[in-house]
């Protein structure tokens, strides 16, 4: 297969004072027979994303996703620990309530 033209488009949505503003950029490039298609497409993506002001680094996005999933796992672990501690506190309060009669006026 001989690819002569490649294209890439990207849209951006901004919200300025409750009005939707969309910016679309689409570019095409004619390739010479000696050019590598994959490298040219990566370069075209970078140019289109720089026109809109977006970053589209796949490795950066994957590392961000990995760090967010690690942080989420840590937070879920902390939530489970807090639930276990709260259940211990509730059982302790029930034991105290059954052993001692509650007096709303302590004096």
Dist CA 55 CA 63 (whole Å): 14
User: Which tens digits make up the pLDDT trace of 57-83?
Assistant: 667 777 888 999 999 999 999 999 999
DSSP 56: -
What are the distances in angstroms from CA 53 to CA 21, 29, 56, 78? 14, 20, 10, 37
Other beta carbons less than 10 A from residue 48's beta carbon: 19
Enter the tokens of residue 89.
Answer: 């506190």
Sign of CA dihedral 23, 26, 53, 68: positive
Task: Give residue-wise pLDDT tens across range 13-58.
Answer: 555 555 555 667 777 788 888 888 888 888 888 887 777 766 666 6
* Domain locations in the chain as residue ranges: 5-55, 57-101
User: pLDDT value at position 1?
Assistant: 44
């Amino acid at each position: 297969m001989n690819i002569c033209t490649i294209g890439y488009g990207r849209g951006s949505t901004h919200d300025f004072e409750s009005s939707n503003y969309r910016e679309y950029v689409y570019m095409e490039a004619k390739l010479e027979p000696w050019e590598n298609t994959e490298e040219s497409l990566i370069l075209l993506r970078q140019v289109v994303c720089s026109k809109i002001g977006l970053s589209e680094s796949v490795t950066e996005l994957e590392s961000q996703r990995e760090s967010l999933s690690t942080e989420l796992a840590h937070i879920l672990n902390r939530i489970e620990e807090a639930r276990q501690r709260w259940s211990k506190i509730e059982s302790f309060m029930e034991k105290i309530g059954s052993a001692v009669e509650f007096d709303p006026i302590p004096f």
